[in-house]
Structure formats: structure tokens, C-alpha cells
């Protein structure tokens, strides 16, 4: 049986539209990046690497007790492609697949990520991609033979470019939660409301 994919969490951006580091905003008392990384760890254990850039010091401190590794992309201002390249270059030797997840995909649950891994199992020359808003995107799992393509991306191109180019070998996994953004103060208010509801429901159930 093959090992699960290594998770790359891309969290290097400056969050200019939000006006504060989105990775550090709190949802039901928990920093957003902490939620995303905890979900990645629930799926992949120690095989999680977080790529930080802007506000690297605060994020490294935030994840000090996490099983995930943190690496600093000093060229983060080049755009998302630089973090993808840096993340792929940091993968351990022999790594057979990488899951790409964004540091602000707070609504994506550990169960969503597990469904993605299940869809990819047995299709390991294929790419497993989430589908939302009628498009393919990340979270997505890329086999080793896609690493070169990811490493060739430039500017603000994300992994979606590689997904669209490899349309013929995608395993598609519907994932509505992946469409939920954390870009604006309005997004933050809606997400906070959502997390408070989940928290209340959990407390009542216990």
C-alpha cells in the first residue's frame, strides 16, 4: 500500500484585501492557519509542510507546537507560484504525491481532505482535484510526475493552471467548502458566524 500524500499548505501571502494577516485571524477563538494545519495533520500526520512568507515570524510562532514543518519563502512577493515551487523543492526524497492546500481554506474539513485521499487511492498516476463553482481547484493531490510542471509555474499562477492543462487525467471530487473565501472583512464575518454555530452545536452535543 502506498503512503499518503505529503501536504503542502501555502500560507505566504500578505492578505492585502483583508487588511490584516488572514492566517492569524481568529474563528471561534482559533487562528485560521491553526485550523487549516490541524486538518492537514489529521490526514497526513507529520507529513505536512507549511510555506510561510509575509508575517513569517508570527506564523512560525503560532505553529511552534504543531507536528507540521514550517519553511519560509523569502520570495513570496513573486506570487503564489514561488511558494508552490519552494514547497515542491522541499518535499522529502521519494515523496510520491503532494496535496496542495491553501492556508485560508478554513472551511475545508479533515473529512473533505480524507475524501480527496480516498478518491486518489488506486489512481496514483492521476490527479485528484476538488470541484467547486463548476471549476477544478485545490485542495488537489498531484502525483510525483506532476512535480516538474508545478515547479515551472511563475508569477501568481496557482496549481489550477496545471489542473486545467491535465484535464484528461483528473479524478474530480465535489467539495463545496473549498469555495468559501477568507479575503474580505465580509468573508471574515460570515466565517466567524459559521464557526460559532459549529462550536455551539458541538457544545450542546457534549
Note the pLDDT tens digit of each residue in 2-19: 678 999 999 998 777 777
pLDDT at 77: 87
Nearest Cα to Cα of residue 51 among 31, 30, 26, 33: 33
Classify 102 as helix, strand or coil.
strand
pLDDT at 1: 45
pLDDT at 197: 86
Mean of the pLDDT values across residues 106-124? 91
What's the whole-model pTM score? 0.93
Confidence check: pLDDT of 189 > 80: yes
DSSP 4: P
Cα–Cα distance for residue pair 106/18, rounded to 1 Å = 15
User: Checking DSSP bridges between strand 26-27 and strand 170-174, what pairing results, if any?
Assistant: unpaired
Q: How far is CA 73 from CA 89, 139, 190, in A?
A: 11, 20, 30
Domains of the chain: 6-205 (3.90.550.10)
% of the chain surpassing 70 pLDDT: 95
Amino acid at each position: 500500500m502506498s503512503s499518503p500524500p505529503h501536504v503542502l499548505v501555502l500560507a505566504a501571502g500578505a492578505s492585502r484585501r483583508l487588511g490584516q494577516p488572514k492566517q492569524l485571524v481568529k474563528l471561534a477563538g482559533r487562528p485560521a492557519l491553526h485550523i487549516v494545519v490541524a486538518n492537514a495533520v489529521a490526514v497526513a500526520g507529520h507529513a505536512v509542510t507549511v510555506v510561510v512568507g509575509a508575517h513569517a515570524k508570527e506564523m512560525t510562532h503560532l505553529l511552534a507546537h504543531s507536528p507540521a514543518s514550517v519553511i519560509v519563502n523569502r520570495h513570496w512577493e513573486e506570487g503564489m507560484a514561488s511558494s508552490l515551487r519552494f514547497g515542491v523543492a522541499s518535499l522529502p526524497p521519494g515523496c510520491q504525491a503532494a496535496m496542495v492546500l491553501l492556508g485560508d481554506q478554513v472551511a475545508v474539513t479533515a473529512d473533505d481532505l480524507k475524501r480527496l485521499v480516498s478518491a486518489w487511492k488506486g489512481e496514483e498516476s492521476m490527479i485528484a482535484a476538488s470541484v467547486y463553482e463548476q471549476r477544478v481547484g485545490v485542495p488537489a493531490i498531484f502525483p510525483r510526475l506532476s512535480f516538474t510542471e508545478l515547479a515551472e509555474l511563475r508569477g501568481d499562477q496557482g496549481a489550477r493552471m496545471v489542473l486545467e492543462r491535465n484535464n484528461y487525467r483528473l479524478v474530480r471530487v465535489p467539495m463545496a467548502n473549498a469555495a468559501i473565501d477568507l479575503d474580505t472583512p465580509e468573508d471574515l464575518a460570515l466565517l466567524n458566524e459559521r464557526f460559532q454555530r459549529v462550536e455551539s452545536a458541538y457544545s450542546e452535543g457534549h
